[in-house]
Structure 1
């Protein structure tokens, strides 16, 4: 039986989804990316809000939702059941990186005393000092979590095509994408990626520029919201601790549904 905290969190997430409330500003653009029966990877699924949106804009989508937090994974499973998404969404209790195994999930404690579950990230060891360089925290909780690579997961589950990846994993994105190199080269999936330059540098030895280069060298085009306007970019928006970016490959442009991305890719 789920705990009362899990039930309360899952109910709030379920209610927000039904009201289409508190979704990220990039969420409405998913309808311009997904059609037919796409295969989607939702990495850092949390309570599953992006998985829910995918099922609404592409009712035949097949979604694999990866979540490393034991708490959030229980919330995710309830959301899948309550929204009746079980035929479309498969929940996987795992983090994603560049090699399989096990890592520590670090969850900061906010100054309010609540756990900052949205800011949790994987690490090899417990950090000294603050949990994150970009937050004021008052401590942390840790737990071990299994780790998979997207390439190996898809190979093991006979997933021979990936159409879309949503990834929000608090600085681990470079390593996770390195573990998805075969998918990126084979399928050129659309990607909605939250990039965290301070976390990439301080906790993972990477950089936001390296993440962008990973896509640009494969021929992808990069887009980001400037207010409500979608603009094409070749560099990150400066001086932000994190931001979402879309990556679209020209080879997939003709198969995009009618909408802003198809129009921009044709320009």
Structure 2
């Protein structure tokens, strides 16, 4: 039986979904990407709010939601059940990386005393000093988590096409994408990716540029919000610890739903 803490977090997510409240600013643009019966991978699913939006803008969507935190995974399962989305959303308790195995999930403890679950990330070993370089914390919780690759999961479960990937994994972006190159090469899925330059450098020995190269090498175009305006970019927005970016491949442009992305890709 779910704990009161899990039920409280799940109720907050359920209520916000039902009232369409406090979604990230990129969320409304999913309707301009998804139609028909898309297959979507939600990586770093947390309480499943993006999964919920996908089911609303594409009611026939099939969503695979990956979440490494044991606590957040319970919240995710509860939220999915309350929305009666079990036939559309498959939940997977795992982190995503470049090879299968096991890692540690590091969750910072905020100065307020609460756990910073939105800032949790995977690591090979327990960090020395602060949990993260980009925020103040007063300690951390560390728990083991299984790690899979998206390519491996899709092959094992017979997923022959992926249309969309949403990924928010606090600096592990490059590793996860390296474990999804077969999907990127085969399907050219649309991608909404939160990129964390500071975490990539400090905790993963990588960079935002290396993440962009994954998409540049495959001919993707990149878009980001500037205020309430969607603009095309070739570089990351400077000076930000993290930001969401859309990646769209020209080969998929003709089949986009009518909307801002289809118009921009035709320009």
Q: Classify the TM-score, shorter chain.
A: over 0.9
Corresponding residue for residue 202 of structure 1: 202
The CA deviation at 1:62 is 0.1
3-state DSSP class of the match of 2:139? strand
Deviations 1:206-248 (A, max 9, x none): 0001101110110000000000100000000000000000000
TM-score of the pair, normalised by structure 2: 1.00
Distance 1:23 1:204 in 2: 28
Residue 169 (structure 1) aligns with: 169
Matched residue, 1:140? 140
Q: How is 1:119-158 mapped onto 2 (pairs within 5 angstroms)?
A: 119-158=119-158
Unaligned runs of at least 5 residues, structure 1? none
Counterpart of 1:45 in 2: which secondary structure? coil
Quote the Cα distance in structure 2 between the aligned partners of 1:205 and 1:156.
30
Equivalent in the alignment of 1:188: 188
Instruction: Tell me how many residue pairs correspond in the alignment.
Output: 267
Structure 2 counterparts to residues 237-248 of structure 1, below 5 A: 237-248=237-248
- Per-residue displacement from partner, 1:103-142 (whole Å, max 9, x unpaired)? 0000000000000000000000000000000010000001
SS in 2 for 1:111: coil
TM-score by structure 1 length?
A: 1.00
| CA distance in 2: counterparts of 1:239 and 1:205, whole angstroms | 19
Is 2:244 the partner of 1:236?
Answer: no
Deviation at 1:190, TM superposition (A): 0.1
Q: CA deviation at 1:255?
A: 0.5
Distance between the aligned counterparts of 1:18 and 1:196, measured in 2?
30
**Residue 81 of structure 2 aligns with which residue?**
81
Give the 4+ runs in structure 1 shifted more than 3 A: none
Q: What is the Cα deviation at residue 30 of structure 1?
A: 0.0
Alignment map for 1:11-26 (pairs within 5 Å): 11-26=11-26
RMSD value, Cα = 0.3
The whole-number CA distance in structure 2 between the counterparts of 1:147 and 1:118 is: 18
SS of the aligned residue for 1:144 comes to: strand
Deviation at 1:36, TM superposition (A): 0.1
What are the equivalent positions in structure 2 for 1:92-131 lying under 5 Å apart?
92-131=92-131
Question: Using the alignment, how far apart are the partners of 2:27 and 2:88 within structure 1?
Answer: 19
